């Protein structure tokens, strides 16, 4: 058995099972950015509730968020969890963008490296959040590494260690996958779908679209038979 850790082969199997996935949800670039910030340490269902609250209050714009009182914002985004911390960070990020760039479009007009550095300079934005904003809101091709991707790649090929760094795994993908915006978006979405449905903390290897090319999955199925 040859275990294929080539991202293109993995993507082919996932795409065949899940089809094209239109992810990340959001009507505007700003909404996508806010979603990326709020989704930290919570589920997307909770983020949707918070986003709906912001929409109902007509606050989903850079200008309006910067003029909102922190306590009012806390109440609205409460469903997202850690709402006090997230409200404070969202306000701080939006005020910094407004002060330094004037508009979100001007921030997003920076080249990818400069944009990433700018985003990472804001408290509350780490590598995964920054890259999600770049990929989905700014629409620049950068491969997002999340817990689902890291877990799946380690199980597919244990040589990709659990302790591999964010940058190392990102580089692994970007050296092997054609640099294409839609491809990067869909491949990331496929790993999320895989992680939610099969490659969980306690994996469901039977029925997984990767069980024939995954070392962990193949061994798990053999044990059961």
CA distance 62 to 126: 20
In Å, what is the CA distance from 107 to each residue of 114, 138, 190? 9, 9, 28
Mean residue pLDDT across the chain: 95
Say if CB 177 and CB 143 are below 8 A apart: yes
* Res. 103: pLDDT tops 70: yes
In 3D space, the residue among 4, 225, 39, 219 whose CA is nearest the CA of residue 124 turns out to be 39
Residue 167's CB is within 10 A of a number of other CB atoms, namely 10
- Is 7-21+144-224 assigned to CATH 1.10.1670.10? yes
What pLDDT, in 10s, does the model give residues 54-96? 999 999 999 999 999 999 999 999 999 999 999 999 999 999 9
Cα–Cα nearest to 131, from 122, 121, 141, 123: 141
Q: Is residue 152 over pLDDT 50? A: yes
Q: Where are the domains of the chain?
A: 7-21+144-224, 29-137
pLDDT band at 223 (very low <50, low <70, confident <90, very high): confident
Q: Give the CATH number of domain 29-137; options: 1.10.510.10, 1.10.287.3510, 1.10.340.30, 3.40.50.720.
A: 1.10.340.30
More confident residue, 225 or 135: 135
Contact at 8 Å (CB) between 78 and 107? no
């Amino acid at each position: 058995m040859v275990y294929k850790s080539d991202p293109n082969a993995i993507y082919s199997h996932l795409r065949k099972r899940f089809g094209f996935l239109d992810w990340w949800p959001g009507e505007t670039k700003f909404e996508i950015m806010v979603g990326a910030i709020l989704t930290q340490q919570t589920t997307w269902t909770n983020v949707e509730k918070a986003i709906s609250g912001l929409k109902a209050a007509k606050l989903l714009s850079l200008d309006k968020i910067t003029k909102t009182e922190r306590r009012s914002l806390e109440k609205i985004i409460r469903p997202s969890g850690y709402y006090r911390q997230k409200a404070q960070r969202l306000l701080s990020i939006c005020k910094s963008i407004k002060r330094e760039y004037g508009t979100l479009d001007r921030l997003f007009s920076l080249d990818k490296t400069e944009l990433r550095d700018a985003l990472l300079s804001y408290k509350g934005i780490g590598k995964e959040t920054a890259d999600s904003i770049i990929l989905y809101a700014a629409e620049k091709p950068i491969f997002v590494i999340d817990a689902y991707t890291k877990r799946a790649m380690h199980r597919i090929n244990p040589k990709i260690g659990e302790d591999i760094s964010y940058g190392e795994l990102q580089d692994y993908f970007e050296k092997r996958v054609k640099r294409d915006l839609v491809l990067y978006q869909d491949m990331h979405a496929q790993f999320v779908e895989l992680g939610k449905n099969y490659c969980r903390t306690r994996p469901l290897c039977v029925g997984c679209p990767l069980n024939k090319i995954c070392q962990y999955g193949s061994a798990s199925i053999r044990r059961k038979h």
